[in-house]
Amino acid sequence: MIRTLIRELTGGHTRRAVGRVVAVAWIVAALLCSPFGEKESSAAEGQWTHHRSAGPFEVHSDFSLKDHEELFRELAALQRELARVLGIQPAKEPIQVYLFRDRARYRAFVRRQLPKVPYRQALFVKSDGPGMVFAYRSASMDVDLRHECTHALLHAALPVVPLWLDEGLAEYFEASVEERAFENPHLSSLRWNLRLGMVPDLESLEKKQSIDQMGAQEYRFAWAWVHFMLHGPEAAHSELVRYLASIQRSEPPGTLSVRLSQRLPHVQEQLVQHFKSWRR
């Protein structure tokens, strides 16, 4: 049995204008050993005419990658950033990334090789072996890859990642380095939520076990808690690092909501104040 993580990102300027509508599904599928079926392996492998290494990522593409050097520098730096900020170990195995020149080729591949997986613009698939990321060239490819590669690095380092935290971290690190702290599109929507008295509740997020329990607001709130822990009180950041360290050691970590409340009095109110005062 394998666990397959699927992430949907709506594309282009519309997504940024109206906010993120995202869907993630955990499915049980037949064992997936490689991205290609046995009969089609030779022909499919021949389509990967361009290759590039970027940190732990081995990138295979059917189009030229020469115009994406900055993206590969970002992906190579992503593992170092996760290790620095979260204290997690680097991936011990290469992560395979497959890029298609257009949506049609990608869609045909997904339908043929992953027929039980609902179509999504970008996919992260993790079995007992190394993780794999699939995407296609589009206006949002950089965001798609940073998001999916964050998932891949987290699952390469940790035996399990709570759903809300997995998505909150990927939402945070999908933005470019320059945009992560102050320019994430979630920020303006979150401030409107707070003005209307809609305060992110961590205990509620921790109860989400499947994608059908999470909507756009839950993703935004998951991102908010990650932002608070990374840019708020040092005690919150410290507790996140300790929590992930417990998971990495395969120790029962408890719940992060309880751990944070024990370290920070009135932690939810502190989160609200954090965003009210957060300015460049």
> pLDDT tens digit string along 86-124?
999 998 889 999 999 999 999 999 999 888 776 789 999
Please tell me the chain's helix, strand, coil percentages from 3-state DSSP, rounded to the nearest 5: 50, 15, 35
Q: Report residue 223 CA to chain centroid gap.
A: 11
Q: Is residue 174 part of a domain?
A: no
Q: Which domain holds residue 247?
A: 186-277
pLDDT of 271 higher than 70: yes
Residues 152 and 202 in one domain: no
What stretches of 115-233 show up as alpha helix (H) in DSSP? 141-157, 163-173, 186-195, 202-206, 216-231
Residues 148 and 12 in one domain: yes
- Count how many domains the chain has: 2
Residues 54 and 192 in one domain: no
Residues 50 and 152 in one domain: yes
Region 145-167 average pLDDT? 95
Q: Is residue 107 part of a domain?
A: yes
Tell me the DSSP string of 110-130: HHHH-TTSPP-SEEEEE-SS-
Residues 153 and 190 in one domain: no
pLDDT of 217 higher than 90: yes
Q: Is residue 262 part of a domain?
A: yes
Residues 126 and 226 in one domain: no
Asked if residues 121 and 9 have their Cβ atoms less than 8 Å apart, the reply is: yes
Q: Report residue 22 CA to chain centroid gap.
A: 11
Q: Is residue 170 part of a domain?
A: no
Which residue type occupies 76?
A: A
Q: Is residue 86 part of a domain?
A: yes
Q: What pTM was estimated for this model as a whole?
A: 0.84
Residue 206 CA: distances (Å) to CA of 19, 87, 164, 237, 256: 23, 21, 7, 18, 8
Q: Is residue 250 part of a domain?
A: yes
Residues 108 and 244 in one domain: no
